[in-house]
Every structure is written in C-alpha cells, then in structure tokens.
Amino acid sequence: MANRTISLDEKEKALLIDALYSTEMSSSSKKLVDKLDRAFKPRAPRYGKSKGAGFQIWIAEKLSVMLGFTFDNTDDDASIATRSMGMSGNDIILRGSAKASFPFDIEAKNVESLSVPATIEQAKANTGKDRKWLIAWKNKKFDEPVVIMSWSSFEYLWRRSS
C-alpha cells in the first residue's frame, strides 16, 4: 500500500482526535490514536536545536579521541569546540594543531530529511581557505552517522592512506 500525506489544519486535527476518542476502541486502535495525538502536538522550536547541538558534541568528542586534542566548550582556547546553534560558521571549531592536522571543516546535520545541494552550498560557504568541506549527517534510519564529501576530498584521503 502506498503512503500518502495529508494536511490538516489545527481544527481538523482536533476534530479527528475527538472523533477517534469518542468511539469504542481496541487496544491497538487506542495506540494509533495516541500516536496521532502525539504527532499532532507541536514541538517546541528548541527541540531541533538541542538535537543538532547534541550531534555537534558527539562529533567533537569523536574528533578529540581521533586527533588526541582536548574538546571543551567552556574553554575559549580548547583545541576543539562546537559553535552555538544559530551562529554562522563551522559547526565544529578547530584551533591550532587540531586544525592543522584535520583538513576538513564540518557541517553537522541531525535531520530526517536533508537537501543535499543546499547543505553542500552551506558547507562550502563555511569552508576556510585551503580546507575541504565535509558534511556529517545523522538520521534515525541510519545505523550510524554518514559523511558526505567531494570526490576530490575522497581522493585526498585515499592518497594519504596508501
């Protein structure tokens, strides 16, 4: 069966939930109504930002272990830090030797749907001179985050590992 998307305004959503709750339901029907009820409740705008911030911290911690440099968001001199949500620039801040040893500027995305062309443009715009862009994308359908990079960056990594 094909999935279809329907759009309901707030009044229609409320009417649907009321109609479903007013009928006798089996336990599986009750679960479906509860799922719809949760889906219709608006999420606070901060929800998406905290998801993104958590993913940035995860990346920074991984880089800290990989590169052997400190990650500390409270220290302005730490080798690795994360950018506050809503601020322009690289999501992961690398300083000094950490920046010299890792040639990528990272754009982190923790979203279910991603506009790849727009995200690549954003990553390119935030990439410094003589650096390469890299997108880290986390999606709940994936077993682990994935990385999107240009072919020239892939070749660069291949040459370094050979």
CA-closest candidate to residue 13, choices 35, 34, 36: 36
Domains, in order of start, for the chain: 10-40 (no CATH), 46-161 (3.40.1350)
pTM above 0.85, yes or no: no
Checking if the pLDDT of 15 tops 90, the result is: no
Range of lowest pLDDT (11-15, 62-66, 130-134): 11-15
Residue range 84-122, pLDDT digits in tens: 776 777 889 999 999 999 999 999 999 999 999 999 999
DSSP E strands in the chain: the ranges are: 80-82, 92-94, 104-110, 132-138, 146-148
Alpha carbon separation from 82 to 1, 13, 106, 159 (Å, rounded): 43, 39, 10, 29
Residue range 45-70, pLDDT digits in tens: 555 566 778 899 999 999 999 999 98
Which amino acid, one-letter code, is at 115?
S
The Cα–Cα gap between 2 and 146 comes to: 28
The Cα–Cα gap between 7 and 13 comes to: 9
